[in-house]
C-alpha cells in the first residue's frame, strides 16, 4: 500500500480508529432486549451488514421493518437517547485500533478527516477528550449520510489523490460514490466474509490492520 501518494485520507471511526464495533453490537442488544429475542436477533443480523450507517437509520428500521409497526416518534426518541447514552460510555472503555497512532503521527503532512456513521457531536467530544482532534482537519458524522460527508470533503480537493480507509460495506460505497480509492481494514470488521467477497469482485486493497501500512 503506497500511502505516500495520497494528499488526503478520510478515516471511518468505528473499527478503524476506535475498537468499538463489538461494543456497539452489545449496546443495541441491551437497549432492545425488552422487545424479544427473535426481534433482537433479526436486528443484530441486519446491523452487522449495515455498519457505517447512522443510528437514526437503524432505529427507524427496527421500528418499521422488524417490529412492523407504524412509525412511533416517542419510541424512536427513547431508543435514540438510550443508544446515545450507551455510546458515550463505550467510547470511554474502547481501545484505539492497532497501528492508528503510528499512522497519524507519520502522516502529519497529509490532510486527514473522519467521516463516520456515528453522531457528529458525540464524536467531536470523544476525539477532543482523548486529544485526537488535533490530527484531523475535520471530524464529521451523522445525521448526514456518509456518502454526503465524503462527497463534501472531496469537493474541497479537486485533482488530489484521496483515500478512504474503512472496515464496512458502507465505507466502500461512500468511496465509490466519490470515485476515490478505498482501503479495507479487516481486523475489527464485523463484515469479514461479505467484505472479502466484495474485495475480490471490486478489486480494492486490504490490510489486516493499520500497522501493515508502510510509509
- What is the grid cell recorded at 144? 448526514
Task: Write the pLDDT tens digit of every residue in 187-215.
Answer: 999 989 889 999 999 999 999 999 998 87
> What is the CA angle 154-159-165, rounded to 5?
45
- Take residue 122 and report the three cell numbers written for it: 458525540
- In this predicted structure, the answer to whether residue 1 has a pLDDT above a threshold of 90 is no
Sign of the dihedral through C-alpha 143, 100, 126, 73: positive
d(CA 207, CA 145): 25
- Which residues does 14 contact at the CB level (< 8 Å), separation at least 6? 20, 21, 24, 51, 52, 116, 117, 118, 167, 188
Q: How far apart are CA 153 and CA 138, in angstroms?
A: 9
Q: How confident is the model at residue 54 (pLDDT cuts 50, 70, 90)?
A: confident
Least confident of 8-22, 43-57, 67-81, 129-143: 43-57
pLDDT at residue 127, rounded to an integer: 95
Overall average pLDDT of the 179-185 stretch = 96
Q: Residue 23 has what pLDDT?
A: 92
Alpha helices in the chain (DSSP H): 21-31, 37-48, 55-61, 73-93, 100-106, 120-129, 146-154, 169-177, 192-202
pLDDT at 93 over 90: no
Residues whose CB is less than 8 angstroms from the CB of residue 114 and which lie 6 or more positions away in sequence, other chains included? 10, 11, 12, 13, 17, 123, 127, 136, 138, 139, 140, 141
Confidence at residue 90, expressed as pLDDT on a 0 to 100 scale: 87
Chain position carrying cell 497529509: 110
What pTM was estimated for this model as a whole?
0.91
> Hey, is 53 helix, strand or coil?
coil
Residue 103: is its pLDDT beyond 80? Answer: yes
Distance CA 134, CA 3 (A): 20
Distance between CA atoms of 212 and 3, rounded to whole angstroms?
11
At 149, is the pLDDT very low, low, confident or very high (cuts 50, 70, 90)? Answer: very high
Is the confidence at residue 2, as pLDDT, over 80? no
Of 108 and 14, more confident: 14
pLDDT, residue 147, reads 96
Using a pLDDT cut of 70, give the percent of the chain over it.
100
Average pLDDT, the chain: 93
Q: What is the pLDDT of residue 31?
A: 95
Peptide bond just before 206 cis, omega within 30 deg: no
Q: Can you tell me the mean pLDDT for 116-135?
A: 93
Amino acid at each position: 500500500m503506497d500511502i505516500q501518494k495520497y494528499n488526503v485520507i478520510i478515516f471511518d471511526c468505528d473499527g478503524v480508529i476506535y475498537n468499538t464495533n463489538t461494543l456497539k453490537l452489545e449496546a443495541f442488544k441491551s437497549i432492545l432486549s425488552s422487545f424479544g429475542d427473535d426481534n433482537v436477533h433479526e436486528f443484530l443480523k441486519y446491523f452487522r451488514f449495515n455498519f457505517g450507517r447512522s443510528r437514526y437509520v437503524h432505529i427507524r428500521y427496527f421500528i418499521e421493518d422488524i417490529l412492523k409497526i407504524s412509525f412511533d416518534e416517542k419510541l424512536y426518541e427513547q431508543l435514540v437517547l438510550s443508544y446515545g447514552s450507551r455510546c458515550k460510555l463505550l467510547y470511554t472503555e474502547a481501545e484505539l485500533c492497532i497501528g492508528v497512532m503510528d499512522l497519524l503521527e507519520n502522516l502529519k503532512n497529509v490532510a486527514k478527516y473522519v467521516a463516520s456513521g456515528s453522531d457528529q457531536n458525540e464524536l467531536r467530544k470523544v476525539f477532543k477528550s482523548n486529544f485526537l482532534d488535533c490530527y484531523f482537519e475535520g471530524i464529521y458524522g451523522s445525521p448526514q449520510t456518509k456518502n454526503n460527508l465524503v462527497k463534501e470533503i472531496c469537493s474541497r480537493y479537486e485533482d488530489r489523490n484521496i483515500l478512504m480507509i474503512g472496515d464496512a460495506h458502507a465505507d466502500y460505497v461512500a468511496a465509490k460514490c466519490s470515485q476515490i480509492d478505498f482501503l479495507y481494514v479487516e481486523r475489527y470488521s464485523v463484515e469479514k466474509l461479505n467484505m472479502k467477497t466484495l474485495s475480490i469482485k471490486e478489486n480494492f486493497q486490504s490490510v489486516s490492520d493499520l500497522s501493515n501500512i508502510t510509509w
